[in-house]
């Protein structure tokens, strides 16, 4: 049994980790870390956990937890994990960090886009970007996993096979993304109040969203050249879900069957990536509550572009589900353990 601690267990991603791990046959949660709700029973924070979790929330004491747990999930704001990371901690346990602290290899890029100093850059080289479909072998032996962001996960998985195969122009990529409000976290913010979000859709972080360099770094690695793209996220009045629509110029004329063969060759054996039937566009309602990413594409011969679409649950494959998927790989378990979650509808 893997002894697991969660730092930041009372945020949305943290609570999703608890929900998934309670169904996991090989994991036991031994620490529900929460700075805001220390000494409060976990079910008093999330009533859905009544009679399921009787534990109290505990202080976020990484050093003590590292001596007790086989793995620690840090579902915390940017900067926290980097500020407490030490070799002594990594010598005693494994870490899966759900923040952006170790996703970007260039410290200058991190500090520019996130506006904070990186407190432990010595671990950047070691940290593995935890996107299993790309980095499964590296994840197996990692001590420190940088769990990908939600927008990057959906964007990269939707686009990268075509980029890897040289089908699209790397300089032509535009990503239009939509997300539910849970992506902004559980903190009280005026912009996330019901009256501010309901009956509205708005763009934010235009030409400045901090997931941009993460997407660019990973796609640049795939393409073997620098990729610069336009990324614009939008907030929509729903709890969960991400939908991305990406546009790219085709390098040459190509048929539907040829593009489909590319996607099938990359994802045929990937349990959590579903390439949909021809003409079916991904929708967030068909992935909600699950670890699936639904992908499809449409060729537009008139503009010589391809339109690529992806949908997933931002709290599952975009956060907690992917983190558990990484844990399974790190400990040599069946990758789908605890994650065969049927999407919820309606």
Spatial distance between the Cα atoms of 230 and 246, rounded to a whole number of angstroms: 10
Does residue 266 contact residue 174 with C-beta atoms inside 8 Å? no
CA torsion, ordered 64, 68, 70, 73, to nearest 10 deg: -40
For 116-133, b where at least 16 C-beta lie within 10 A, e where not — what string?
A: eebebbebbeebbbbbbb
Cβ contacts of 158 within 8 Å, gap of 6 or more = 244, 246, 293, 295, 308, 309, 310
The Cα 286–Cα 216 span in angstroms is 28
Residue 204 to residues 146, 210, 315, Cα–Cα distance (Å): 24, 11, 19
Residue 150 a catalytic site member: yes
Stated length of the chain:
346
Catalytic residue among 150, 154, 195, 281: 150
Please give the positions annotated as active site: 150
């Amino acid at each position: 049994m893997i002894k697991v601690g969660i730092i930041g267990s009372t945020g949305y991603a943290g609570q999703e980790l608890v929900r998934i791990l309670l169904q996991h046959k090989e994991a036991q949660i031994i620490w529900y870390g929460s700075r805001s709700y220390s000494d409060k029973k976990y079910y008093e924070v999330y009533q859905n956990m009544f009679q399921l979790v009787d534990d109290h929330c505990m202080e976020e004491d990484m050093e003590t937890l590292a001596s007790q747990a086989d793995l620690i999930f840090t579902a915390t704001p940017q900067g926290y994990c980097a500020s407490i990371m030490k070799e002594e901690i990594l010598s005693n346990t494994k870490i899966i960090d759900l923040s952006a602290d170790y996703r970007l290899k260039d410290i200058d890029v991190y500090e520019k886009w996130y506006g904070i100093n990186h407190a432990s850059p010595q671990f950047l080289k070691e940290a593995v970007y935890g996107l299993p479909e790309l980095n499964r072998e590296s994840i197996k032996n990692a001590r420190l996993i940088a769990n990908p962001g939600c927008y990057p996960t959906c964007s990269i998985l939707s686009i990268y096979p075509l980029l890897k195969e040289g089908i699209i122009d790397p300089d032509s990529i535009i990503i239009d993304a939509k997300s539910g409000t849970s992506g902004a976290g559980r903190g009280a913010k005026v912009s996330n109040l019901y009256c501010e979000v309901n009956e509205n859709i708005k763009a934010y972080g235009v030409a400045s969203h901090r997931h941009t360099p993460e997407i660019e770094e990973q796609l640049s690695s795939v393409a073997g050249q620098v990729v610069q793209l336009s990324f614009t996220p939008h907030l929509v009045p729903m709890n969960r879900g991400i939908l991305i629509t990406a546009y790219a110029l085709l390098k040459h004329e190509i048929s539907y069957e040829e593009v489909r063969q590319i996607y099938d060759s990359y994802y045929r054996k990937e349990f959590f990536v579903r390439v949909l039937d021809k003409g079916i566009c991904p929708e967030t309602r068909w992935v909600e509550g699950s670890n699936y990413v639904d992908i499809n594409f449409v060729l537009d011969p008139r503009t010589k572009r391809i339109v690529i679409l992806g949908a997933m649950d931002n709290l599952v494959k975009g956060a907690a589900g992917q983190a558990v998927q990484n844990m399974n790989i790190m400990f040599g378990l069946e990758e789908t353990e605890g994650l065969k979650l049927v999407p919820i509808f309606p």
